[in-house]
């Protein structure tokens, strides 16, 4: 029992940036655009660090898959309190087609290699909104999953997870080792303090290639075209309910 | 004159500097900006913000590591200062006043003094103040009248100080007082620098002054009536005070210039965003050359002010005397902060004059940058002296 938590963090376009589609419609503009850690990944890191502070886990290892710049994202997690980092180098064409299937294979391999008891991920990334990596990772490892977690408590006989679902809140108990994915209300991520930013410089980030983990990065998906959502049409004001019904009938909606 | 290449600061920030800047920026945008207008209206001291900033290590950056601080370079602390000032210079001044009060101790204190007075600043979120200006003497520091007389093992201090930032919140003061009564004694020997605990009997803190801008910052007059200071609290030795008081400025003027730059950047951002949205005569006002030229000149000034403070910070960090650059940076940044803030109000038009929009506060806040930490006129005195000094070789 190593008491090790593996946290996955993804480098995404910052939530405040106005997204622009490339002129060739092959994707969105990323060059020179501000990037930061996916907000749900921040919540995942915070939860892992909290577990370590409560002495329920011994070590927090943070992982990111991507090009050189992913190391900045790992550094941020280290400054928040993670112990060490693993940078899985994926760049060029492989990075463009990197998706939940490939990442979950990588995380599953690392979980075995690092003897992790717990994997915590953000519920989804704000760039692709896939909401698949946590679920796929659990399936590959044959581990239970607590997704959309808004509350997590480690108990003697397993983990109690309160999940945010459409109907409200669902409480489940799962055994360890397990995969959790963090939802918005799980916690409020801490600021990295200045002293912690300085301390993070001394923490180690290991470099790993997907091939070293025996993972095949081939994508089964091909992006055909990326477009902006249609411009929102102006609305129309109506005076009475009858007016509304007749307009809806005219538009063929009713 | 050294070779040109040796003097150029790094063209890109290090990863750590970028992270510091990011932290300060995030704190400024998420914690300070949402509450800045309310603190400006009420004038209430922003202690909750200061406490949070202290917890994150954003204040007291100059305190050396041996005393529990982070020993940041002046350059790194300027990066942080600019980001915080962007959000609110009232709050940022309250924080910066700590650096000013601490600087004499950092440059001239002995180990025991540093342990005692710098150490406590990193253990609790305490404030301190630089206590030099008097009602009758601001620019003319050598003309201060506060007297310190040696009586046994103490000094007994009597006098009046004014415009002391953090005056009502400080845990201790750096105090400058005259110890040699002889009017013919040169300034370099007539004054002594002291560290004074704020709870020493005889210290009377005046009312909070209502100022034009930076209104949440605490500024007061302080009266000293037979205040006893133990001789252990003298910095260096009797008579060494003037040089210490002035020497602090080489380290604190770059951050003050950085603060003015942060304010100017904010004014530029607000005005630019407004200009891209507001329509007049069929197009966004940004597309009218009269307006775009105003914004272009604002941008020029902000970029140059930034380069100036970075150069002055770099120089002192390299161990060189930076007085010339520090004065240039402070003078320039203070002047352009006022120009840029005024221009921002102009770009906003009628809305700019109104308190519902953020730029009128910037204009009110900017004025003090031409006054404190050495007036615009005193800076020019210093610059001309340093300038001619180069030619007299």
Q: What is the pLDDT of residues B94-145, one digit of tens each?
A: 999 999 999 999 999 999 999 999 999 999 999 999 999 999 999 999 999 9
| pLDDT at res. A235 | 83
pTM above 0.90? no
Chain centre distance of CA B34: 23
Tokens of B300: 């020029």
Residue with tokens 């050396």: B64
> Using one digit for the tens of pLDDT, what is the confidence trace for A41-88?
999 999 999 999 999 999 999 999 999 999 999 999 999 999 999 999
Residue A151 phi/psi, 5-degree rounding, is -155, 135
Binary contact (A197, B23; C-beta < 8 A): yes
How large a percentage of chain B has pLDDT more than 90?
Answer: 94
| pLDDT at res. B5 | 38
Q: Averaged over B38-55, what is the pLDDT?
A: 97
Q: Averaged over B251-258, what is the pLDDT?
A: 96
The answer to whether residues B226 and B154 touch, using CB atoms and an 8 Å cutoff, is no
| pLDDT at res. A152 | 97
Q: β-strands A205-208, A84-89: how paired? A: parallel
Tokens of B389: 């000094």
| pLDDT at res. A253 | 82
| pLDDT at res. A2 | 64
Beta bridge partners of B191: B178
Which of A197, A199, A200, A203 would best serve as a mutation to test chain B binding (most B beta carbons within 10 A)?
A197
Closest CA in chain A for residue B28 = A191
Binary contact (B26, A79; C-beta < 8 A): no
Count of CB pairs separated by less than 8 Å, A with B: 31
Q: β-strands A158-165, A59-66: how paired? A: unpaired
Beta bridge partners of B92: none
| pLDDT bracket for residue B51 (50, 70, 90) | very high
Residue A25 Rama label (left phi>0; alpha psi -120 to 50; beta): left
Binary contact (A193, B61; C-beta < 8 A): no
Alpha helices in A63-144 (DSSP H): 70-80, 92-96, 100-114, 133-141
Tokens of B364: 């009110």
| pLDDT bracket for residue B191 (50, 70, 90) | very high
Compute the distance between CA of residue A79 and CA of residue A82 in angstroms, rounded to an integer.
7
Residues 6 or more apart in contact with residue B115 via CB below 8 angstroms: B67
Compute the distance between CA of residue B191 and CA of residue B234 in angstroms, rounded to an integer.
11
| pLDDT at res. B11 | 60
CA distances from B92 to A88, B9, B33, B105, B340 (A): 41, 25, 12, 21, 19
B267: nearest Cα among B235, B236, B233, B305: B305
Q: Give me the helix-helix angle, B89-108 and B47-55, nearest 10°.
A: 50
B144 annotated ligand-binding residue: no
Residue B68 Rama label (left phi>0; alpha psi -120 to 50; beta): left
> How is residue A21 annotated by DSSP?
B
Q: Which residues of B are catalytic?
A: 373
Tokens of A41: 């990944």
pLDDT over threshold 80, residue B393: no
Tokens of A251: 């538009």
Length of chain A: 254
Q: β-strands B283-284, B170-178: how paired? A: unpaired
């Amino acid at each position: 029992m190593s008491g090790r938590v593996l946290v996955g963090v993804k480098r995404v376009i910052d939530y405040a940036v106005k997204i622009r589609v490339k002129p060739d419609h092959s994707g969105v503009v990323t060059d020179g655009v501000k990037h930061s850690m996916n907000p749900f990944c921040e919540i995942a890191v915070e939860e892992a660090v909290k577990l370590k502070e409560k002495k329920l886990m011994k070590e927090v290892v943070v992982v990111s898959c991507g090009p050189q710049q992913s190391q900045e994202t790992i550094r941020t997690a280290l400054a928040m309190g993670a112990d060490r980092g693993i940078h899985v180098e994926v760049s060029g064409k492989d990075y463009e087609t990197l998706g939940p299937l490939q990442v979950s294979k990588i995380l599953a391999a690392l979980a075995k290699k690092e003897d992790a008891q717990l994997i915590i991920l953000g519920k989804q990334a704000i760039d692709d909104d896939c909401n698949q990596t946590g679920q796929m990772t659990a399936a590959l490892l044959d581990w239970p999953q607590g997704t959309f977690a808004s509350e997590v408590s480690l108990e003697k006989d397993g983990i109690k997870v309160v999940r945010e679902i459409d109907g409200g809140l669902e409480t489940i108990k799962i055994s360890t080792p397990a995969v959790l994915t963090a939802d918005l209300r799980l916690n409020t991520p801490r600021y990295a303090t200045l002293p912690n930013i300085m301390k993070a410089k001394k923490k180690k980030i290991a470099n790993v290639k997907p091939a070293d983990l025996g993972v095949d990065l081939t994508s089964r998906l091909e992006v055909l075209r990326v477009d902006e959502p249609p411009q929102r049409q102006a609305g129309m004001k109506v005076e009475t309910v009858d007016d509304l019904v007749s307009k809806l009938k005219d538009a063929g909606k009713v | 004159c050294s070779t040109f290449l040796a003097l150029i600061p790094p063209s890109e920030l290090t990863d750590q500097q970028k992270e510091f800047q990011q932290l300060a920026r995030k704190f400024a945008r998420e914690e300070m900006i949402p509450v800045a207008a309310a603190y400006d209206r009420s004038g209430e001291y922003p202690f909750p913000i200061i406490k949070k900033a202290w917890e994150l290590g954003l204040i007291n950056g100059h305190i050396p590591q041996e005393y529990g601080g982070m020993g940041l370079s002046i350059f790194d602390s300027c990066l942080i200062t600019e980001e915080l000032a962007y959000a609110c210079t009232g709050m940022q001044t309250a924080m910066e006043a700590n650096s000013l009060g601490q600087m004499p101790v950092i440059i001239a204190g002995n180990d025991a003094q540093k342990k005692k007075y710098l150490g406590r600043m990193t253990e609790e979120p305490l404030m301190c103040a630089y206590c030099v200006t008097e009602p009758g003497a601001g620019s003319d520091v050598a003309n201060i009248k506060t007297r310190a007389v040696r009586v046994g093992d103490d000094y007994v201090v009597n006098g009046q100080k004014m415009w002391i930032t953090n005056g009502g919140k400080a845990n201790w003061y750096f105090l400058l007082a005259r110890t040699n009564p002889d009017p013919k004694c040169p300034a370099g020997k007539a004054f002594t620098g002291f560290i004074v605990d704020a709870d020493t009997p005889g210290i009377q803190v005046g009312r909070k002054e209502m100022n034009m801008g930076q209104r949440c910052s605490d500024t007061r007059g302080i009266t000293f009536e037979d205040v006893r200071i133990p001789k252990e609290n003298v910095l260096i030795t009797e008579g060494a005070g003037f040089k210490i008081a002035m020497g602090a400025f080489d380290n604190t003027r770059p951050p003050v210039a950085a603060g003015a730059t942060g304010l100017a950047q904010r004014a530029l951002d607000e005005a630019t965003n407004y200009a891209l949205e507001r329509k007049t005569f069929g197009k966004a006002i940004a597309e009218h050359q009269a307006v775009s030229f105003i914004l272009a000149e604002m941008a020029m000034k902000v970029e140059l002010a930034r380069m100036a403070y970075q150069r002055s910070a770099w120089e002192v960090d390299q161990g060189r005397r930076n007085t010339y650059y520090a004065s240039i940076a402070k003078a320039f940044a203070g002047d352009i902060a006022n120009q840029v803030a005024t221009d921002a109000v102009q770009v906003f038009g009628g809305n700019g004059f109104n308190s519902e929009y953020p730029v009128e506060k910037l204009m009110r806040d900017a004025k003090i940058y031409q006054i404190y930490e050495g007036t615009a006129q005193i800076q020019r005195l210093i610059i001309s002296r340093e300038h001619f000094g180069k030619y007299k070789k």
